[in-house]
Amino acid sequence: MTQQYNTKSAGVRRLMQEAKELRQPTEMYFAQPMEDNLFEWHFTIRGTIGTDFEGGIYHGRIMFPAEYPMKPPNLILLTPNGRFELNKKICLSISGYHPETWLPSWSIRTALLALIGFLPSTPGGALGSLDYPPKERNRLAKLSGDWKCKECGCLMKDVLLPITEDGQSKESEEAKQLAAKLKFQDESAVKKEVAEAAKASSNTEETGPPTGSSDSERETPSEPSQSAQNLTENSASEAEAPVEPQAPAPMPEHFHQPARRIESSTFDYYLLIKIPLALLCIVIFLTLGARRLLVENGNPRNGEPEL
């Protein structure tokens, strides 16, 4: 099988590693890939003691996406159980129905233990869920040992290790704790939480954040802060008191400084040349004009007799 897949792929390496870890069956679960498809596994789980599924052995399929473990697998149960519909993807927060709640650190073992712990939960009308009476579930649990898978040929009573009280109680407790820790939910619970979150956000937008309150007051609205009460009383007293005009405060001495002369940084140094040239042109113009007048009027000494 190794030659059929790209061993550089993270998903292929992860599935091969988990196949090695799960190659030996336990008292509560067993899972292995199909011979011709690494991305399709068959699993077997046992019902927990003290529930409607006590004594039951249930078989199913796990279908992995190419992006595993970044995306969750899909779980399908094949054995009649009275909790989930057969040959239909299970809608849980650990399955492909809710990729937003999946964590890449979770493994196949995590999903199997969570499914074991989730079997006795209330269906709540979720997609693909069943709510059979306890007697019917007990009857199906007793018949499940003789159920045989048509695809892999596994007979349920021969798949898992013989049950012992200590082994089953240990793994059953682990499954319960894992299911409670991860807070696995069916579709109805997820939709309910989403609706409640949307309703809360809409109420916040309509009412707006409370004024004059701090973050600690918002976290504990039932216990108003003493500082907030004092602030309200001071504000009320200030509003009732008449407002008196106040004289402007005297300016400190260090502010009484003579105005500084702001020098322009855009001085045109060409003026030093333009102004003398302009004056020179005016002088030349006036000189030429005066000379012309003298030439036109003639020299006044021409009519005087020579000595």
Between CA 26 and CA 156 the distance in angstroms is 13
Between CA 101 and CA 91 the distance in angstroms is 12
Q: Is 149 a catalytic residue?
A: no
Cβ contacts of 171 within 8 Å, gap of 6 or more: 26, 27, 28, 29, 113, 116
Cβ contacts of 97 within 8 Å, gap of 6 or more: 89, 90, 91, 127, 187
Between CA 44 and CA 61 the distance in angstroms is 9
Indicate which residue of 91, 149, 152, 154 is catalytic.
91
CB count within 10 Å of CB 276 equals 10
3-state secondary structure 258-275: CCCCCCCCCCCCCHHHHH
Catalytic positions are 91
